[in-house]
Amino acid sequence: MTSRIRPFLVVGSLLGLGAGLAEAQVFASIERIEVPSRGMAEQPSLVGLPDGRLLMSWTELSGPTLARVMISLRDDTGWSEPVAVAEGDDLFVNYADFPSAVGLPGGWIAVHWLRMNAASSYAYDIAIALSPDGGATWQQAVVPHRDASQRQHGFVSLLADGPGSVLAMWLDGRNYDTTDAFATGDSTTASMQLRATTLNAQTGLTEDLLLDERTCTCCQTSAATTQDGTVLLAYRDRTADEIRDISVLRRIDGAWTDPVPVSGDGWEIAGCPVNGPAIGADGDDATLAWFTAADGEPAVKIAFSDDRGAIFGEATRIDLGGPAGRVDLLQLTDGAALVSWIEMTAEGEALLVCRATPEAGCGAPVTVSISAAGRTMGFPRMAMADGQVYIGWTEPTLDADGRPDGGTSIRAAMATLGPAE
């Protein structure tokens, strides 16, 4: 079942533009589609598979404690029957740190999720499982980090690294000891780390590599692969002076570079904003999007690179004046990028998407959905599959009077790109 998104949901009026014009700049068409989730569901994540299908992963909640990590695949006939990859009363369920999946060459799929490892609210491990047959069967889940600390491990990015092989990158709390930090005055003992490893179906895990010994605590990471196989990894860094700007690492011919600060915002904040960057790549082109509130001015910014992420150009602000961030990004083949973010408007929390180019910046954005119930959309995610753009997000369920009833459900839209300018 699909339904056309009504033109009044386009935010052209906020910019003094007509709705039809704003929509044409981004999508030729956009429509709501049915989703495979059932009951109380949240945290959708989307990825296009090498064979052209779309994979959605999400979390379903049943009763007070039971949770399931679910996946379903979509082709031109619709969604496959949902499959539970993991379930239990010890899964870590959080609106900002959620499961994801990636398609690998040869029909393999990798899915990650999070499982509690102690009674503390933020003590959890990462689990990754591989399927050789599109999710029909699964190998035993593997914990990619080698430490046994009862601390936080999450905010994972997954990339294909060959047939049956997945590159995993995450934030790691094995060194996050606030007790020692207060006792000694050494804040490095209260720092998250950025780490990476590769899981291969045949040979297992490679070395658990330390990429950055001091990062922001709970902002999402984002990764992409360029034409020559260079891996780009974007994340929110953290200096000793509490500057929490965006940095990028690259893996070139199997070796990781040192972190390179990219955003240059100078955002000094003594806490985590829970607002990570998004990066995409195609050919030699790469685009980076992020949120900042440096100098007390919230903003969503983008920057472009034409040399596989070695250098990013000057940042351009793209929001409408009330951004909440929570960005995502799709790199297009013509050097442009689709960027999504959350904007606070008079009507409520709005999910916006714009088409951005290095020459013109961001055109008039389209509003995909609006929620009047506060911070309820989570972190919307986009993917490209079989030439179509898919967008997934969380919305509150409503009672008979149209008021939030405490539940959540997943919504999704499918769009066709408009002509490039």
Burial of 207 from C-beta contacts in 10 A (0-12 / 13-18 / 19+): exposed
Q: How many residues does the chain have?
A: 421
Q: Do 56 and 36 touch, CB atoms closer than 8 A?
A: yes
The Cα–Cα gap between 94 and 111 comes to 17
Q: Quote the domain boundaries for residue 257.
A: 2-417
Nearest to 62 by CA among 93, 92, 40, 35: 40
The Cα–Cα gap between 100 and 117 comes to 20
CATH number for 296: 2.120.10.10
Give pLDDT, residue 189.
58
Give pLDDT, residue 277.
98
Long-range contacts of 57-63 (CB under 8 A, 24+ apart): 57/85, 57/99, 57/100, 57/101, 57/111, 58/99, 58/392, 58/410, 59/91, 59/93, 59/98, 59/99, 61/93
Q: Do 263 and 278 touch, CB atoms closer than 8 A?
A: no
Give pLDDT, residue 399.
80
CA 88 vs. chain centroid, Å, equals: 24
Count the domains in the chain.
1
Give pLDDT, residue 7.
33
Give pLDDT, residue 6.
37
One digit per residue, pLDDT tens: the chain, 421 residues? Answer: 444 443 333 333 333 233 333 444 799 999 999 999 999 999 999 999 999 999 999 999 987 789 999 999 999 999 999 999 999 999 999 999 999 999 999 999 999 999 999 988 889 999 999 999 999 999 999 999 999 899 999 999 999 999 999 999 999 999 987 554 434 444 555 789 999 999 999 999 999 999 999 999 999 999 999 999 999 999 999 999 999 999 999 999 999 999 999 999 999 999 999 999 999 999 999 999 999 999 999 999 999 999 999 999 999 999 999 999 999 999 999 999 999 999 999 999 999 999 999 999 998 999 999 998 767 899 999 999 999 999 999 998 878 877 777 889 999 999 999 987 6
Residue whose tokens read 């992409």: 224
* Strands 255-256, 260-261: pairing kind: unpaired
The Cα–Cα gap between 265 and 255 comes to 28
The Cα–Cα gap between 341 and 319 comes to 8
Structure tokens given for 418: 């408009």
Helix (H) or strand (E) segment spanning residue 225:
strand 222-225
Can you give the pTM of this predicted structure?
A: 0.92
The Cα–Cα gap between 61 and 68 comes to 7
Cβ within 8 Å of residue 64, ≥6 positions away = none
Structure tokens given for 78: 């619709």
The Cα–Cα gap between 27 and 13 comes to 17
Name the amino acid, one letter, at 153: H
Taking the CB of residue 192, how many other CB atoms lie within 10 A of it?
Answer: 29
Give pLDDT, residue 148.
86
Give pLDDT, residue 272.
95
Burial of 16 from C-beta contacts in 10 A (0-12 / 13-18 / 19+): exposed
Secondary structure class of 267 (helix, strand, coil)? coil
